[in-house]
Chains A and B, each alone.
Chain A
């Protein structure tokens, strides 16, 4: 019943925030974002609970003993912190780098560089585990060459493991952010006001910053949001491969996926908690981006207000 109660609490909180936003029109924009967030989390909790319960029923697993659910918080605390740290590092390396590279490719006005980056961005279609294998092979090559173990260990949190996991996790989102970002920025660079700025003799660097990247900021944030979604999607796989003690690995272990010979007994409560916390992290980050988008382009908030009216 814990999960149903939690879902109801989220639902009621979302409705209260929505009502408050209706009473206080000044907070309407933020209120809408928070209401959506609450509804999203409530839906995620219920759907996850239903899916896991159904899986349990099909595999004819015994229900967990009473009181197990109360111990879940202690089990997910450390993995949640580890996953959050991994996401933050990968966010800067992946989404940040990809967006910056897109702006740089346009700003540098070098078609060959843009073409090269475009080809590199095709790495987006490679399965993440292939990238992880390449990273593991790179670790081995570095060890063979320098006799220094740079892997950062296995199945234990360390700076080295965080760095490798974040690097692998960041590659596909970086490629995605570059791919979408470069399209947006290239479209913006063909706008009439950019030509006007050029004809007035403004330096190209300033035109890129002020007249290309700034108007495209809302679109770039939307791209960042999709890139982050991609990152969260690959998180369980990367954590499972490197044995990184985060929520993704906890989710898979909770569902009975084992990395060794011995089978892993499923822990439905842990699986639900891990999925819900992971999805909540994603929802909060997306809500944050929606707020930033409204700041970057006030027309988005106005359009939402009109649609709601």
Chain B
């Protein structure tokens, strides 16, 4: 493994490890600071409205009962409801990681099955897989994901706490969007192996079926799949963030409006989830309040960056020898 690849791989792994440590620390913060809504607070005896800035110790007062005061240190600031962003992002990343893992598994399974079909299945299956791939490619990916989620849930996220159907819709939508790339990689590898002289030799000595796959296909397929898995993880994370921005996310929310002028209210997550935390991006951006946007977005982008770097580090190793 070349030095450059090694440095890249270590760098990617370090980013992931750093994020994991931050999540582990963040989830230790009491749920109270990730769910209770605060109307405002005092920083150095100066009244301050939410969102609170980063690295600030704030004496907050509750929205329900202004006489209920607490003091809290906000490491990364707060959202519009005065909830600790560090705790929100850490706790929100757990369901998001679970969703990403399920969607990624779905993508890989569909892609591998379709790839096998394209490379070694019957003509009918090959044509069907290619045609389905063509249709998927014909759709803009975000539009397709939104349409699939809509087909299962009926619309963008609502104030109601969603059920299993919503999670399933996300897994299906994200799986359907990206399987074609995986299928192309799998089909390409299998077709390459089948065209090699060692493959003919193996068949000549009677190697077929699973034995042929295990001995001759899998050693070439595994590294390519690992690289593809890394790239797909980055793509799924970015897609999750973009869906959140478009109001498609897992959790329910509490509508929190600052005034009665008909201005859109903030959607404060009932149970934190990263996509949901990004659904108010436009509102925060319009108010020039960038921290509540940047913290979850950068967390997602860093995770995607780490997977991308790891993928790039290993990509050169998995290139097929020239024919």
Residues on A lying within 8 angstroms of B by beta carbon are: 36, 39-41, 43-44, 47-48, 50-52, 54-56, 58-60, 122, 124-130, 133, 136-137, 140, 229-230, 232-237, 240-241, 248, 251-252, 255-257, 259-262, 266, 275, 278-279, 282-283, 286
Contact = CB atoms under 8 A, between A and B. Distances in A.
A81 to B, nearest CB: 18
Nearest to A50: B151
Interface string B238-268: 1001100111000000000100001111000
Interface residues of B, number: 47
B143 A278 contact: yes
Given A241-B282, A261-B264, A282 B140 contact: yes
B139 A279 contact: yes
A127 B147 contact: no
A11 to B, nearest CB: 12
Contact of B246 (A58, A59, A257): A257
Contacts of B262: 260-262
B138 A233 contact: no
Interface in B113-149: 131, 134-135, 137-143, 146-148
Contact of B142 (A234, A256, A283): A234
A52 B131 contact: no
Contacts of A137: 290
Contact of A279 (B138, B148, B297, B308): B138
B173 to A, nearest CB: 10
Interface string B216-258: 0000000000000000001000100110011100000000010
Contacts, number: 149
B265 A261 contact: yes
B287 to A, nearest CB: 12
Contact of A51 (B140, B151, B245, B307): B151
Nearest to A48: B147
A235 B140 contact: yes
Contact of A259 (B137, B242, B282, B301): B282
Q: Which of B141, B152, B285, B307 has the most CB of A within 10 A?
A: B285
B321 interface: no
B138 A129 contact: no
Q: List 7 tightest A-B contacts by C-beta distance, closest first.
A: A59-B154, A58-B154, A233-B141, A55-B150, A43-B135, A232-B140, A127-B241
A122 B242 CA distance: 17
Interface string B85-96: 000000000000
22 contacts: A40-B138, A43-B135, A43-B138, A44-B135, A44-B139, A51-B150, A52-B151, A125-B307, A129-B241, A130-B301, A229-B141, A234-B142, A237-B242, A237-B245, A241-B245, A248-B140, A248-B143, A255-B147, A255-B150, A260-B262, A261-B263, A282-B138
